[in-house]
A and B are shown apart, each in its own frame.
Chain A
Amino acid sequence: QKEVEQNSGPLSVPEGAIASLNCTYSDRGSQSFFWYRQYSGKSPELIMSIYSNGDKEDGRFTAQLNKASQYVSLLIRDSQPSDSATYLCAVNRGSNYKLTFGKGTLLTVNP
């Protein structure tokens, strides 16, 4: 069983729509959850971190965490072509643990 799984892509949405990215994890001891954005040929950039159940909003981004269901998601409202990238879900058990990454979901926002 894969430790961190992301919904298979690629995901294509029209400009202005809501993009929904999903991630499940297998380790119930996971404490910290992250979403990174990676443009082609570039390194990952942290866009959201979430540590407790519920929603966390930052601008057009909302991360949602449900530890009981072992599920974390990222919503991007009013999607822009500049949001087109691979989104990586990452999870760890907390401080002093390494991150486990999903394989990423490629998002394309069409003008």
Chain B
Amino acid sequence: GAVVSQHPSRVICKSGTSVKIECRSLDFQATTMFWYRQFPKQSLMLMATSNEGSKATYEQGVEKDKFLINHASLTLSTLTVTSAHPEDSSFYICSARVTGGVGDTQYFGPGTRLTVL
């Protein structure tokens, strides 16, 4: 399957700082990437859809000014958590859509565990 990478895998930061997470499709081009968040023992929650060359589409209840998404190229999307607070501590996972064939498929990156002190 397609390979998606994320960086960093783990980050610890102080409250009030900003954190940038990168999501890359390594062996394919992805016009669409997705950002999810997962709290312990809970299901995946879609935060936003990232489209190359256009503004991201945010899910209801997700603050676009707090979670900045930039999809500047066909292989890279970034999520910046601005002014992070302890309640933003979570597992952030990106996925990239592969299209073609019978249908499209999403492949996930390995995730970034964010801890805000």
- State which size class the interface on B falls in: 20 to 34
| CB proximity to B under 8 Å, residues A30-46 | 31-32, 34, 36, 41-46
Tell me if A99 counts as interface (CB < 8 A to partner B): yes
Q: Give the complex CA separation of A20 and B34 in angstroms.
A: 29
Query: Taking the nearest CB of chain A, how far is it from the CB of B97, in angstroms?
Result: 8
Q: Give the complex CA separation of A91 and B111 in angstroms.
A: 21
Q: How many residues of A contact B (CB 8 A)?
A: 24
Binds A, one of B69-77, B82-90, B98-106: B98-106
| CB proximity to A under 8 Å, residues B24-45 | 32, 34, 43-44
Which residues of B are interface residues toward A (Cβ below 8 A)? 1, 32, 34, 43-44, 46, 49, 91, 93, 99, 102-111
Interface CB pairs A-B, < 8 A, 12: A32-B104, A32-B105, A41-B91, A43-B91, A44-B44, A46-B105, A46-B106, A88-B44, A90-B106, A96-B32, A96-B104, A103-B43
